[in-house]
A and B are shown apart, each in its own frame.
Chain A
Amino acid sequence: MALDTQAKAALVEALGAVVGARYVLSSDYDLMLYEYDASIDRARPDVVVFPASTAEVSAIVKLANQRNIPFVARGAGTGLSGGAIPLQGGIVIAFQRMNRILDIDYRNLRAIVQPGVVNLHLSNAMTPNGFYYVPDPSSQKSCTIGGNVGENSGGPHTLIYGVTTNHVLGLEVVLPDGEIVEVGGPTFDTPGYDLTGLLVGSEGTLGIVTSITVRIVHQAEAVKTLVGIFNTVDDASNTVSGIVEAGIIPAALEMMDQIILQAVEDYIHAGYPQDAAAVLLIEVEGLRDTVDEQVSRVVAVCEANHARAVRIANDEQERQLLWRGRKEAFGAVGRISHEFYVQDGVVPRTKLPYVLDRVNAICASYGLRVGNVFHAGDGNLHPLILFDSQVPGEVEKVRQAGFDILKVCADAGGSITGEHGVGMEKSDAMPLIFSDDDLAVMQRVRDAFNPHNLCNPGKVFPTPGRCADIKLVIGQQRSPAYAQAEAEGAWH
């Protein structure tokens, strides 16, 4: 749905009156840059606007309502499920200008940020005082906290400390009708329904967040990172369950299989073995005098599960290099296959050996290669299916394999998305885990907040009749935003 020339010109003028003409983009050339996020979904907005204040966001939303034009909030565009894509055109509200850290209150363990603040910038601002903000998506060098709130983002270090929702206490929100409202706050247990908890992860369909109150915590005294090397994926998977069963909850517990290791090692040279079937990247943190004890317990579990070797990072430099290999794994895979498709399923940790077998068998049955790099401790899989769209029918196979994998996750008692969100990509997979009644109850919530469905339409809910498009990362046609995101490690 594109606006006609006259309506668009009028909209541009009206928005210009709100934010200043220079903060409104409307040429095809400019709009092209806002038609995708890191999922490579595409839909072109009619106009992009850059508000500088909550009042401006409210005015924009009211204007959109008067004209019955859809609107979508956008942070850094690193999302992996199309959450920021203006599926029905309309207005993209971009938050680059609302990027200030408003307050850091160490005595009360709170910070208040605008939605456009880059995730890592908040932690960096607190480093000198020994504090940080816990959720650390792999894209944290570029993604914004507003986007994290929209998607309820995770990251490697959320295993023990929880995801975004566990760290957000209060929000200022512009509702889909333009009203500004505060929910929650800096103190715990605000009377009434937990609207903060509801809004986090609502993928921009219930309102637009304009200020965020988060918890901050003190850094641990010591951290140790180790790599367990395995000759079979099964042994690595069993080690994951074994560690958790032994009562150890590491700060991070990540797995990479052989395809990933080979790609990463060729690219990053972090010292990962290229002939291993899988490695586990494990991090424990805590007090200096107890971390070593935890490390030896983890090593014992690795060895009991036939680890070929366990290496412990000797210093911070080696640790950083190992993490760089993990966080830039998607980019590394981009070097061996121009095209790949990322899935994001979750299964109970104990089901990992079975589900990984199935993932590999499914891909093999379609004649597709797959690499696995994922948050094993959470049971959060990220299979990367490699393909070549020049081969007739291959895209269709990838589409089907991805759906089959989600079905295996659902059947194993898991979920169709652990941290990337439903967005456009997975709305049609929702019935794998939710009944019609379950979804109808969620619809009641959307209708309560967003009755005219102008606020990020076409997301989260299955669209009857719409064919499930799988969004493919097309190497040769990579967008500048994609290339930049990749360079910055914007991948989980």
Chain B
Amino acid sequence: MSDLSLFTRQLQTGAPQTEILNSPGDLARFAVDGRAPALVVLPATVEDVAVTLKLASEHRLTVLPVGGSTQLGLGQPPERYDLALCTARLNRILEHEAADLTCSVQAGITLAALQQQLAIKGQFLALDPPDSEHATIGGILAANSSGPQRLRYGSARDLVIGLRVVLGDGTIARSGGKVVKNVAGYDLNKLYIGSLGTLGVIVEANFKLIPRAEEEQTLLVACRDASTAMEIVISLLSSVVTPTALELLDRAAQQQLPGQAVQATSATSYLLAIAFSGGAKAVVRQIADARAAAAHQGGAPQNTLEGANHDGFWAAVRAQQHGPVTCKVSLLINSVASFLARAQAICQEQQLTSSVIAHAGSGLVYLQLGPSDAVDRLAMAISQLRALALSDKGSLVITNAPTALKARINVWGEPRPDLRLMKILKQRFDPQYTLVKGRFVGGI
């Protein structure tokens, strides 16, 4: 009798509500880099998550926490992958204290489902990663996913006020709390966010919320080149307007937008989308300011998007953060334009297709490359792009790629000297590597 069947029996006894899947079809759905788990476990409660992990660690099985499976392509291939621990059944909103602008949710709820509930009270969680219909809160936090609006509202690290996490040995621990200001104890929330499930399984999260804006509008500006667009971005950031998002799209990215949204001319090499939200009066004033600033810097202000056009445009933009081969490049704002120019040249040299959307005001460039089977050329191009980013204090992470490419180039890049600390932390949190090894930075 294998460890696995003994584990299964003990899990059925210790946490009888837990669903266990082992049909080939189910297992294939949870495959990571072509590797399927031996079992999929769906706990019904936080306590069952703890039982699962405790048993897994006793049986020396390795566990990968999975939410909506939207970011399974992030990371190096796992070394060993026995169990997928799917949080889908932990999908309740525990509290929405509207008057306090806070909420507490279980990790398996999708972002879209949460937003729908919060909207009833006129509020929202200010995170806008792609695929909110599938992406779960736990997954979004573990992968530190974000979207264009982070310019105004920050990323998960700025919005999470408390977490409940189950460690590899089954210990259930809280960090932070339910209040918006709190310095009691170490801020472990920060450590868990973006740790890709290597320190623990996020099971509950508390957030601060934002009241929904009365009005949202986006001004589109056609720009002849990236430096014109970035001069507009920098001038807006050095002014009294407070854009919600400043998004830059190259021509290839524009072609993937819904037709009616954009009327930019074919001469437009870059499109800059400048979003504002707030009171109607404030939005109108800022759109006018942005129009003037854009024209002053040599851009050609186009139409303003509102209502359904506005929402459709931004959904299409967010979707382009994620493709078969995607690089997330983090740069200083002032380096974005020159990076994009070099990136274009490198892709041409390597005969690769590319499309770019960038959270330009945050210095984050999402670069889609193709064809995805051109592994040699992709690896060559990405290593050049990475060197470019690093030379300017930035970084390049491949957020999605075929497994073959991951064999050629590490998705995280060369570890930095602080890897030593990360490894010691991993050692203290999960010495046995119950949580799947190999996907994270430096082989963690």
Task: State the A residues within 8 Å of B (CB).
Answer: 105-110, 130-131, 151-152, 154, 158, 162-163, 165-166, 175, 181-183, 185-198, 200-202, 206, 218-221, 241, 244-245, 247-249, 286-287, 289-290, 293-294, 346-350, 375, 378-380, 413-422, 426, 430, 433-435, 437-442, 444-449, 460
Does A448 contact B188, Cβ atoms closer than 8 Å?
Answer: no
Does B194 contact A430, Cβ atoms closer than 8 Å?
Answer: no
Does B267 belong to the interface (CB within 8 Å)? no
Does A444 contact B428, Cβ atoms closer than 8 Å?
Answer: yes
> Hey, which chain A residues are within 8 Å of B333, CB to CB?
107-109
The one of B97, B282, B334 in contact with A350, judged by C-beta atoms closer than 8 angstroms, is B97
The residue of chain B having its C-beta at the shortest distance from the C-beta of A191 within the complex is B412
Does B282 contact A348, Cβ atoms closer than 8 Å?
Answer: no
Does B239 belong to the interface (CB within 8 Å)? yes
The one of A163, A165, A193, A196 in contact with B425, judged by C-beta atoms closer than 8 angstroms, is A193
Does B218 belong to the interface (CB within 8 Å)? no
What distance in Å separates the Cβ of B366 from its nearest Cβ neighbour in chain A?
12
Q: 1/0 per residue B419-444: CB within 8 Å of A?
A: 11110110111000000000011100
Does B181 contact A380, Cβ atoms closer than 8 Å?
Answer: yes
> Hey, which chain B residues are within 8 Å of A219, CB to CB?
240
B 323-366 contacts with A by CB, 8 A: 328, 330-334, 362-364
A-B contact count (CB 8 A): 256
Does A379 contact B181, Cβ atoms closer than 8 Å?
Answer: yes
13 extra interface residue pairs, beta carbon distance < 8 Å, beyond A186-B332, A218-B240: A107-B234, A166-B154, A182-B418, A187-B332, A201-B187, A245-B99, A247-B122, A286-B282, A287-B241, A418-B179, A418-B182, A448-B421, A448-B425
Known contacts A244-B101, A448-B424; decide if A293 and B186 are in contact (CB<8 Å). Answer: no
> Hey, which chain A residues are within 8 Å of B237, CB to CB?
109, 218
> Hey, which chain B residues are within 8 Å of A131, CB to CB?
238
Does B418 contact A195, Cβ atoms closer than 8 Å?
Answer: yes
Give the top 4 A-B pairs by smallest Cβ distance, nearest first: A197-B190, A247-B211, A221-B240, A444-B428
The residue of chain B having its C-beta at the shortest distance from the C-beta of A461 within the complex is B185
Provide a sorted-by-A list of 13 A–B residue pairs whose CB atoms are within 8 angstroms. A189-B155, A192-B416, A193-B422, A196-B190, A244-B100, A249-B211, A290-B285, A348-B178, A379-B100, A421-B183, A430-B184, A437-B173, A438-B174
Known contacts A293-B279, A419-B183, A434-B174; decide if A181 and B424 are in contact (CB<8 Å). Answer: no
What distance in Å separates the Cβ of B96 from its nearest Cβ neighbour in chain A?
12
> Hey, which chain B residues are within 8 Å of A448, CB to CB?
421, 424-425, 427-428
User: Interface segment, B57-65, B82-90, B389-397?
Assistant: B389-397
Known contacts A158-B181, A289-B285, A417-B182; decide if A189 and B418 are in contact (CB<8 Å). Answer: no
Assembled-state Cα–Cα distance A313/B16 (Å): 64
What distance in Å separates the Cβ of A266 from its nearest Cβ neighbour in chain B?
30
Does B413 belong to the interface (CB within 8 Å)? yes
What distance in Å separates the Cβ of B48 from its nearest Cβ neighbour in chain A?
17
> Hey, which chain A residues are within 8 Å of B182, CB to CB?
346, 415, 417-418
What distance in Å separates the Cβ of A346 from its nearest Cβ neighbour in chain B?
4
Assembled-state Cα–Cα distance A166/B101 (Å): 18
What distance in Å separates the Cβ of B315 from its nearest Cβ neighbour in chain A?
22
Does B167 contact A192, Cβ atoms closer than 8 Å?
Answer: no
> Hey, which chain A residues are within 8 Å of B422, CB to CB?
192-193, 195
